[in-house]
Amino acid sequence: MIINFIDVMKYLFLFTIAALMSCHAKPVKAPDPAPANPGRQQADSTDTVLVRIVGSITGGDPDSCILVSRRLEPDSGYNKLLAKYICNNLYSNDPDAKQAELVTITNRPSFARMIMLFFDEKSGYDKIAYYGEKNRIPEMRENLLFGVADCCALQLHPIADALLKRDIFEGVEVLWSKADCKKLPSLQGYMSRVDTTNFFACADLVGFFHNVGEYGLRDSFLKKAGRTSGFEKNVATLKKLIAENKKFDISTFRESTYGGM
């Protein structure tokens, strides 16, 4: 076979040009790896959500249940502990909670901030992302408070006092007989604003003051509770409970006073 000399030169020329171009071509950057947890990345982005409720898997991996923004708790270790606490106490209290973990969590400012979010319907609810109806949040917030009722009275007093400033009594109910009224400076203002025509508001104060030994204040609000209309049987039950028990826990109080309502 006779190869045309011109064709050979043409192929050599094209090969040389291709080789030179490949030497000067810019390297192609490999694509960035996908984030390990897109939900976590979203929780830490520029959105305003601080707590994202993504599931209800009690006892599981907190990331599969709750995502806590780094803006709420920047430390990765404490962030995970707080997410675990919320996950395990959102719908019922965790019977297997470790006291050392609970003390550690409540000592962080992020715990109080988280609690206040759940009690702030006006602006706090906007910072909570929940896949269900937000009318369940009041139930959740009480669970989150009572999850540390047995361990952390010292840390709970400032939270209870902050809630009293908003005319919310649940923080005091968590403390109950462990409360130190001197550490609740906002209690006096709450009492001055409370609706004394509301049986439930008066009864709460009756039960609380009985358990902390403030019998004068107990009797004062018992009289006010007795003046409310339509709660005669409840008042009688409350008086019986007080007469028969030097102290009683919040569950007994609620069941006896509000039971069947």
Confirm whether 15 is domain-assigned: no
Confirm whether 260 is domain-assigned: yes
Same domain, 168 and 253: yes
Confirm whether 30 is domain-assigned: no
Confirm whether 31 is domain-assigned: no
Per-residue pLDDT tens listing for the chain (261 residues): 444 544 544 444 444 444 444 444 333 333 333 334 444 444 455 568 999 998 655 445 556 789 999 999 999 999 999 999 999 998 888 888 899 999 999 999 999 999 999 999 888 899 999 887 888 888 899 999 999 998 999 999 999 999 999 999 999 999 999 999 999 999 999 999 999 999 999 999 999 999 999 999 999 999 999 999 999 999 999 999 999 999 999 999 999 988 744
Same domain, 163 and 255: yes
Same domain, 98 and 179: no
Same domain, 102 and 157: no
What is residue 235's predicted lDDT score, i.e. its pLDDT?
A: 96
Least Cα distance to 106 among 61, 151, 164 occurs for 151
Q: Quote the CA–CA distance of 155 and 85 in Å, as a whole number.
A: 16
Same domain, 118 and 162: no
Least Cα distance to 215 among 238, 190, 191, 246 occurs for 246
Residue 43 burial (CB count, 10 A): 25
What is residue 65's predicted lDDT score, i.e. its pLDDT?
A: 87
Same domain, 133 and 172: no
Same domain, 176 and 189: yes
pTM of the entire predicted model:
0.78
Boundaries of domain holding 110: 37-150
Instruction: Tally the domains of the chain.
Output: 2
- Among the three residues 150, 177, 196, which one is the final residue of a domain in this structure? 150
Q: Quote the CA–CA distance of 199 and 203 in Å, as a whole number.
A: 6
- Among the three residues 125, 150, 175, which one is the final residue of a domain in this structure? 150
